Amino acid sequence: MITSFTDKVAVVTGGASGIGYAMAERFLTEGAKVVIADIEQAALDAALRTLGARGEVIGVRTDVSDTASLQNLADRTVEAFGKVNVVCNNAGVETGGTFLNVPEQAWRWVMDVNFFGVLNGCRIFLPLLQQQEEAHIVNTASVAAFNSGSATMMPYCASKFAVLGMTESLEIELRGAGSHVGVSLLAPGPVRTRMPEAERNRPRTVPAATEPARVAVMEALARASAEIGLDPAHVAGLVVDAIRHNQFFVLTHPEMATAGVHKRLRWMETGEAPPVRVPGT
Ligand SMILES: NC(=O)c1ccc[n+]([C@@H]2O[C@H](COP(=O)([O-])OP(=O)(O)OC[C@H]3O[C@@H](n4cnc5c(N)ncnc54)[C@H](O)[C@@H]3O)[C@@H](O)[C@H]2O)c1
């Protein structure tokens, strides 16, 4: 269990923006050395300029959907700092539409970044974490991991369900084996970040999601994010506390997460289907 972050080494994917940036900033404030990994070179450069004043930080351009790129991230981390204590598999993207309007390439992009990026981050970094006495993995899911049925967000929802299933199973396996590597699942509700503009990182093979139902949902999401979204720094504080206490679930909006689980439980136990949610509400 990590009791102090002083001189620990933390890797954060998607660390150039939003929640990842806030986690990187907080780890630096706590005395850790930080590696920021992100696919956006310009954002990475800007983050390093700001965070460089806070402590020892490097940036490694990384595409988490590419296993070789993640391996390079691990190699560069060990080269720079000699070890890894904390890995936050946090990079995430979103695109969607009504079911028949979502092409396979869009599904693959979202699954490759949100699920395989997290999975391969665990596969590549776990052996390095096992070499350290104090080590922890934080995988970012979403309240979407507990709530199906958000209009036009099916690939995102499926990817976050997959992160939940994999991360819970990993925690159970490691704890059962007596491993000292802790595992947490961060499942945020609305946080004020650039997530509503996630398509900015869409590969050329993925068409823009332009159907009106989808655009309306994204506009509503952007409004909600700006109006009621939490400050990412608050989320970073919850993550640091969870690592310190080896706490599995990190829920920024526990009522949204548990409502999803209760809804499913009622559905399973009584057969009563949950109400249909109207897009944009
Ligand atoms: N903001 C929210 O309301 C919210 C809610 C639930 C879950 N989340 C999750 O939080 C995580 C962080 O997102 P955020 O809200 O800070 O959004 P953000 O867009 O501000 O940050 C995401 C970062 O990931 C990077 N990224 C995208 N694709 C990448 C790739 N292939 N390889 C490496 N980096 C890549 C982006 O460049 C960006 O810097 C995501 O997993 C997201 O699904 C966010």
Question: What is the position in ligand 1's atom list of the atom closest to the CA of 188?
Answer: 6
| CA of residue 190 to ligand 1 center, whole Å | 12
pLDDT of residue 279: 57
Residue 136 is assigned to a structural domain of this protein: yes
pLDDT of residue 277: 72
Active site residues: 156
Report the greatest alpha carbon distance in the chain: 57
Residue 4 is assigned to a structural domain of this protein: no
pLDDT of residue 278: 65
| CA of residue 270 to ligand 1 center, whole Å | 36
| CA of residue 132 to ligand 1 center, whole Å | 28
User: Radius of gyration over alpha carbons of the chain, in Å?
Assistant: 18
Q: Whose CA is nearest to atom 7 of ligand 1?
A: 142
Residues of the domain holding 53 = 9-270
Residue 61 is assigned to a structural domain of this protein: yes
* Number of domains into which the chain is organized: 1
**Residues written for the chain:** 281
* Separation of alpha carbons 229 and 66, rounded Å: 30
- In the three-class reduction of DSSP (H, G, I as helix; E, B as strand; rest coil), residue 21 is classed as helix
Contact 90, 138 (CB under 8 A): yes
% helix, strand, coil for the chain, step of 5: 55, 15, 35
Domain with residue 251: its CATH number is 3.40.50.720
Residue 1 is assigned to a structural domain of this protein: no
Residue 281 is assigned to a structural domain of this protein: no
Query: Please, what are the averages of pLDDT over each run of 10 residues along the chain (281 residues)?
Result: 96 98 98 98 98 97 98 98 98 97 98 98 98 98 96 97 98 98 98 96 96 94 94 98 98 97 97 80 51
Tokens 């776990």 correspond to what residue? 126
- In the three-class reduction of DSSP (H, G, I as helix; E, B as strand; rest coil), residue 149 is classed as coil
Residue 276 is assigned to a structural domain of this protein: no
pLDDT of residue 276: 87
| CA of residue 16 to ligand 1 center, whole Å | 9
Question: What is the position in ligand 1's atom list of the atom closest to the CA of 69?
Answer: 32
Q: Do β-strands 86-89 and 9-13 pair in parallel, antiparallel, or remain unpaired?
A: parallel
Strand ranges inside 7-134, DSSP E: 9-13, 33-38, 57-61, 86-89
pLDDT of residue 145: 98
Residue 251 is assigned to a structural domain of this protein: yes
Q: CB of 111 closer than 6 A to ligand 1?
A: no
- In the three-class reduction of DSSP (H, G, I as helix; E, B as strand; rest coil), residue 184 is classed as strand
Q: Do β-strands 249-251 and 9-13 pair in parallel, antiparallel, or remain unpaired?
A: unpaired
Q: CB of 260 closer than 6 A to ligand 1?
A: no
Q: In Å, what is the CA distance from 236 to each residue of 56, 65, 105, 168, 175?
A: 18, 24, 32, 21, 24
Q: CB of 113 closer than 6 A to ligand 1?
A: yes
Q: Whose CA is nearest to atom 42 of ligand 1?
A: 92
The interaxial angle of helices 18-29 and 232-244, nearest 10 deg, is: 50
| CA of residue 17 to ligand 1 center, whole Å | 7
Q: Whose CA is nearest to atom 1 of ligand 1?
A: 191
Q: CB of 196 closer than 6 A to ligand 1?
A: no
Q: Whose CA is nearest to atom 30 of ligand 1?
A: 63
